[in-house]
């Protein structure tokens, strides 16, 4: 598992018991999330935009006001924001859906998009150009990490390795640091995430039908079944 530990454990815990029993789970986060030491200027904002749970957690640590609605991408981000005390509304499963819904319903603005240092989609710029005023501010950084010693050793083995990849930046890092000879089975949460992985020597690359944890779990479930049938033995995840 290449995500930060808490997110990885949450994902694995929601896999079917039968799938978990057939794999050895190895946690090797290749991206570390840390809040930035910044002051968030949200006094004039009429609402927040969250496109990741990482941004919500960073906003919590920076004591951003809960007295405004939060417009979120995906159920995990929305649930995290609700749990933190915001009036959170899921307005799309993807950034594209969020943009379309905000432009359709036109909430009070200006809005403030709190995001990571590295972000895709140009959400604030595109919404502002379409007449909905949105500012953006990075509130967390994403520090790239190498594979752990354990993950590196498994990569050099001959057992099948199943790697779920959840973001384009993580995919680029994984493609850069994977040098193993183990049979590699990949699950990507989106086509954009899959793109950097095409350069790797893999057995199979499966793209989730939707960029959601539910569809990623389904993709991993299918990969485990295929890998066990093709390779035999125990798979690592």
CB neighbours of 91 closer than 8 A, spacing ≥ 6? 71, 72, 73, 97, 98, 101, 102, 105
In this prediction, residue 202 carries a pLDDT of 95
Q: Let me know: does 174 contact 149? Beta carbons within 8 Å.
A: no
Name which residue leads in pLDDT, 211 or 86. 86
In this prediction, residue 232 carries a pLDDT of 58
Q: State the CB neighbour count (10 A cutoff) for residue 221.
A: 15
Name which residue leads in pLDDT, 94 or 148. 148
In this prediction, residue 227 carries a pLDDT of 85
Sign of CA dihedral 47, 59, 116, 200: negative
Q: Of 44, 101, 42, 96, give the one whose Cα is nearest residue 71.
A: 101
**Domains 5-30+145-236 and 33-140 belong to one CATH topology:** yes
Secondary structure of 70-98 in HEC code, one letter for each residue: EEECCHHHHHHHHHHCCEEEECCCCHHHH
What confidence tens digit (pLDDT) does each residue in 5-21 have? 888 998 999 999 999 88
CA distance 33 to 58: 9
Task: pLDDT band for 41, please (50, 70, 90 cuts).
Answer: confident
Provide the angle, in degrees to the nearest 10, between the axes of the packed helices 75-84 and 53-61. 20
Structure-block tokens of residue 10:
């949450």
What confidence tens digit (pLDDT) does each residue in 75-99 have? 889 999 999 999 999 999 889 999 9
Burial of 174 (0-12, 13-18, 19+ CB in 10 A): buried
Q: What CATH number has the domain spanning 33-140?
A: 3.40.50.10090
In this prediction, residue 37 carries a pLDDT of 92
What average pLDDT does the structure give for the chain? 92
| Percent of the chain scoring above 90 in pLDDT | 75
Q: What CATH number has the domain spanning 5-30+145-236?
A: 3.40.50
166 has a pLDDT exceeding 80: yes
Domain layout of the chain by residue ranges: 5-30+145-236, 33-140
236 has a pLDDT exceeding 80: no
Average pLDDT over every residue of 125-133: 96
The secondary structure element, H or E, covering residue 139 is: strand 134-144
228 has a pLDDT exceeding 90: no
Task: pLDDT band for 119, please (50, 70, 90 cuts).
Answer: confident
In this prediction, residue 94 carries a pLDDT of 87
Task: pLDDT band for 235, please (50, 70, 90 cuts).
Answer: low
Most confidently predicted of 47-51, 164-168, 208-212, 225-229: 47-51
Q: Let me know: does 65 contact 36? Beta carbons within 8 Å.
A: no
Angle at 89 between CA 31 and CA 132, to 5 degrees: 90
């Amino acid at each position: 598992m290449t995500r930060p530990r808490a997110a990885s454990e949450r994902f694995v815990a929601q896999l079917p018991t039968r799938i978990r029993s057939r794999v050895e789970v190895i946690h090797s986060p290749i991206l570390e999330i840390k809040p930035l030491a910044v002051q968030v200027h949200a006094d004039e904002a009429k609402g927040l935009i969250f496109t990741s749970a990482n941004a919500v957690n960073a906003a919590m640590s920076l004591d951003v006001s809960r007295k405004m609605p939060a417009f979120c991408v995906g159920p995990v981000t929305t649930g995290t924001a609700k749990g933190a005390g915001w009036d959170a509304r899921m307005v799309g499963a993807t950034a594209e859906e969020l943009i379309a819904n905000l432009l359709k319903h036109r909430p009070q603005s200006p809005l403030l998009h709190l995001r990571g240092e590295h972000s895709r989609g140009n959400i604030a710029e595109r919404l502002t150009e379409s007449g909905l005023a949105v500012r953006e501010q990075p509130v967390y950084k994403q520090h790239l990490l190498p594979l752990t010693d354990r993950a590196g050793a498994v990569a050099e083995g001959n057992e099948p390795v199943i790697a779920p990849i959840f973001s384009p930046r993580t995919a680029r890092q994984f493609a850069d640091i994977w040098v193993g000879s183990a049979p590699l089975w990949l699950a990507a949460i989106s086509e954009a995430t899959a793109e950097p992985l095409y350069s790797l020597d893999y057995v199979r690359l499966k793209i989730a039908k939707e960029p959601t944890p539910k569809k990623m779990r389904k993709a991993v479930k299918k990969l485990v079944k295929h890998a066990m049938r093709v390779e035999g033995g125990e798979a690592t995840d």
